[in-house]
Structure 1
Amino acid sequence: MANERTLTVIAGMGLLCFITLGPFPADCRAGEDDWLRPLGPPPQAAPRRISGGEGVPPLPLPATPLRRSERKREPKPPTLIGKVMWGEKAMFTYGNGSTAEVADWNQCPGDLQQILRKSQWRFELPYAGEAFPLSEFSGEPEAMPVLLFNGSRTIKLDARQIAVLRAYVLRGGMVVFDSIAGSPYFYAGARTITEAAFPECAIRTLPPDHPLYHMLADVDTVRYPKNLDSDKPFLEGVYVGSRVGILLSKYGLGCSWDDREVPLIQEAIYYDVESGNKIGINLVAYAVGYAAAGREEAKPELFGALDEQHPTDEFVFAQVEHEGAWNVHPGAASALLVQLRQSTALKVSLKRVSVKPGQDDLSGYSFLYLTGLDDFRLDESSRAALRGFLKHSGTLLINNGLGLRSFDAVARREIAALLPGARLVPLPPTHPLYTAVFKIDRSRYTPAVVKATPDITYPVLEGIEVDGDVRVIYSPYDIESAWLGCEYPLARAYEPYSGTQLGVNIMMYAATH
């Protein structure tokens, strides 16, 4: 039949098979093999630059120099993204008899090369990409900050490979799964791998104001050429500290990077060229911008070892665990506690302790800290435990991780549910918190805050009094990021000096009131 296509698997797990593919039936879902189709030609080789030079043949002098042309070797740019080779290769036969090789991992061969080239135009800094099998991966984020997996059929990794990915992400690396044509098979496989690598972390939907949507281009709306009636971007991820350690794109990105659509797959869902390129360039910028913070936050142990018993005669930094991204800046609390110990006579434990209100006893703590990046909800037992903590002269500090508007709305909702009828009010400049250790009447903020609110020069904290003392303190701008002193692009936060002084004052206020 003229409109039939033949797929011949020629390499893989020792499998050789022939699959005849016709047009997608209108009344049923395409089979998994129907998604393995070429989505773009191989990338063009980089142009070879030739420079003139003088050459001397191996003859006895005197000899007449001969002009010859030689290739000019340019320095290799640093590698940013590695495209992981996985799955099988096949020969795809079109209806007109022409053929093309297609691989699970490389349906659009030009995707990575193209998005890095476009990013170079924006950054004016070159970055390279390379392809390799996971078996040859060193696992070092410094050598390869980002790993890219893309494809359409089900992706599977064994337990050892999943362990390699987990260790890599915990050390500061980033893994990206792109279902390049919006295939449900690849997406399901990517979620399975992600859940196996980080069983303790939920896969979160990135909120609209997440930095990844705004690094260089604002991606508030997008266009899907077919099969999806929406104008909103949809990305998911696993947070490791403040950053996205694993990113999942349910809908195709790679073809747009190569300025292509997906005509051969009827059920494909993907971003159009403009939308996908904006997300891709933002992704490159995000990977570059958050790489240092990822490595810094990876220095302490990120999961576990936070539940050690605290000394009863020392000030303890106790952090509330909740169902959302509760561990936003690992290592920041320890850095602040060192400053608190150096700046005051207060006896301070340098161990951060995690607690679950409603399950753990809170009576031994005078201070609790809660932060997050997106939605979470406290159950009634947690709220009851926190109310009891506040009634017994405890202080609760709530911090907006990265200063996201999405978390701000959630924090205010949860505070209202915790203390019905109470209202957050700005702390006046004369409040004793601002002179507890350092005299603070001015604060410096990150560029994202200054851009949105140019006239802001003072600290912004809100509070609720319980029995005459401020017991709930809310910071709508990220204060914790300042304690580590890292760069967090687009974070609405305090600068390190201001945020550290404010943090020390809050700790001292909590310890003495």
Structure 2
Amino acid sequence: GRSISFTPGERARLRKYLLDGGMVWFDSVAGSPFFSRSAVGEMRKILPEAPLRRVPADHPVFHLAKSLVAGETNRSKAQPFELEGVFLGPRLAAVISPVGLGCGWDNARPELIADARYYKPAAAVDLGVNLALYAVGWFDSARRYAAGESEAEPGTANPEQVPFAQLVTDGFWNSDPGSGDRFLRYLGRNLKVNTSGSVSYVNVDRAELSDYPFLFLNGLGDFTLEKPALEKLRRYLDDGGFLLVNNTMGLAEFDGAARRFIARLYPEKKLGRIPADHVLFTHGPYKFADSGFTAEAAARYPGETFPLLYGVSDGDRLALVYSPVDLAGGWQQVPRPGSVMYLSSAAGRLGGTIVTYFLTH
């Protein structure tokens, strides 16, 4: 048919399947806008809490078997690839292709459909292979999300423990559920830090920020903070607080948003590369002989032989650290093919180094 509709029972079963780690592809075959719109509507009913957004061009799903930018369709020699995606944590759980894939897979030409829009066979196969590799490669990460380490309860600071406080923004801020909890266990096990054991989700407008020795901001895609919240956060940093900003999967959209946010937070200062001889590294608990990058991160930042961190200093103290290469993905200790991130061993050591600096300065 031209559109798709599920019964309540089917939606419930699909929801469970997706939450348990499955992936669903919605293909409009010949590019029917009616099918695409109905698929969007169904996904909003199946996973109303999950964001639906355009999959960015630098997302791993476009770059696994082959790096894809544009493919031939029945109307264009070079149509930019486009997918709408539903995200569960950092994972694409469902994709909707408004340009048909099925015609290309079947090598069919629906001449009777005047408005048909579909990829030619080579382009359809290339994208299909990438989708299949993504579903298989991210399955372990999907199962980790499904295992229940995803919804830390909001907490309050305990003065005898070090809390891990994650900022809430208007964007996709909880883009890697469970990563903070795993990192806390790493700190307790390897550095004997007495942590709170679970993440506290902090809204800048309502929270007493001084309860927290440092804050963590994670994200996937664009985000902003309103001016009052931004000013409150700046006062917290000026009074001795710290902020760690992390780019989930290392994608360009969040990188741009993070840099704009930091420029608004510190309009009079420049975000600069933290050098290898900075006290953060030289007096930290670990030494770094290489970048610790995955292959994808090494390809994004060729020639880097040391961890890539940026910072803003308040006098001789780093008040803000930004990692354009994903730290939190490494804390999860599961494969994430195509992600611009640190290897698990390096992510733990680098995160421990940053937190040690925060707690001792």
Which category of TM-score, normalised to the shorter sequence, fits these structures?
A: over 0.9
Is residue 300 of structure 1 aligned with residue 152 of structure 2? no
Which residue of the partner structure matches residue 489 of structure 1? 337
- Structure 2 stretches of 5 or more lacking a match? none
Q: Once the two structures are superposed, what CA deviation does each residue of 1:87-111 show, in whole Å capped at 9, x if it has no partner?
A: xxxxxxxxxxxxxxxxx4xxxxxxx
CA distance in structure 2 between the aligned counterparts of 1:495 and 1:193, rounded to whole angstroms? 37
**Cα distance, 1:348 vs structure 2:** 0.7
**Cα distance, 1:241 vs structure 2:** 1.6
Which residue of the partner structure matches residue 281 of structure 1? 129
Residues 1:168 and 1:322: Cα distance change in structure 2 (over 3 Å): farther
Is residue 324 of structure 1 aligned with residue 171 of structure 2? yes
Is residue 499 of structure 1 aligned with residue 347 of structure 2? yes
Instruction: Tell me which amino acid in the other structure corresponds to 2:250.
Output: G
User: Is the CA contact 1:261–1:273 (under 8 Å) kept in the aligned structure 2?
Assistant: no
Taking structure 1 as the reference length, the TM-score comes to: 0.66
SS at match of 2:80: coil
SS at match of 1:390: helix
The worse-fitting range, judged by mean Cα deviation, of 164-173 and 275-284 is 164-173
**Cα distance, 1:272 vs structure 2:** 2.3
Which residue of the partner structure matches residue 318 of structure 2? 470
Which residue of the partner structure matches residue 207 of structure 2? 360
Is residue 193 of structure 1 aligned with residue 42 of structure 2? yes
**Cα distance, 1:462 vs structure 2:** 0.8
Which residue of the partner structure matches residue 297 of structure 2? 449
CA distance in structure 2 between the aligned counterparts of 1:392 and 1:175, rounded to whole angstroms? 48
Residues 1:323 and 1:249: Cα distance change in structure 2 (over 3 Å): farther
Which residue of the partner structure matches residue 156 of structure 1? 5
Which residue of the partner structure matches residue 33 of structure 1? none
Instruction: Tell me which amino acid in the other structure corresponds to 2:271.
Output: L
User: Is the CA contact 1:328–1:373 (under 8 Å) kept in the aligned structure 2?
Assistant: yes
Q: Kindly, what percent of the aligned residue pairs are identical?
A: 34
Residue correspondence of structure 1 range 414-429 to structure 2 within 5 A: 414-429=261-276
CA distance in structure 2 between the aligned counterparts of 1:160 and 1:380, rounded to whole angstroms? 45
SS at match of 1:354: strand
**Cα distance, 1:258 vs structure 2:** 1.3
Is residue 390 of structure 1 aligned with residue 237 of structure 2? yes
Which residue of the partner structure matches residue 84 of structure 1? none
More strand by share: 1
Instruction: Tell me which amino acid in the other structure corresponds to 2:19.
Output: L
Matching residue within 25, 29, 36 for 1:176: 25
CA distance in structure 2 between the aligned counterparts of 1:357 and 1:177, rounded to whole angstroms? 38
CA distance in structure 2 between the aligned counterparts of 1:411 and 1:335, rounded to whole angstroms? 24
**Cα distance, 1:466 vs structure 2:** 2.4
SS at match of 2:71: coil
Matching residue within 196, 206, 216 for 2:65: 216
Q: CA RMSD in A?
A: 2.1
CA distance in structure 2 between the aligned counterparts of 1:300 and 1:335, rounded to whole angstroms? 12
Which residue of the partner structure matches residue 263 of structure 1? 111
CA distance in structure 2 between the aligned counterparts of 1:512 and 1:199, rounded to whole angstroms? 43
CA distance in structure 2 between the aligned counterparts of 1:198 and 1:384, rounded to whole angstroms? 35
Instruction: Tell me which amino acid in the other structure corresponds to 1:272.
Output: K
Matching residue within 51, 61, 83 for 1:235: 83
Residues 1:308 and 1:158: Cα distance change in structure 2 (over 3 Å): farther
**Cα distance, 1:313 vs structure 2:** 2.7
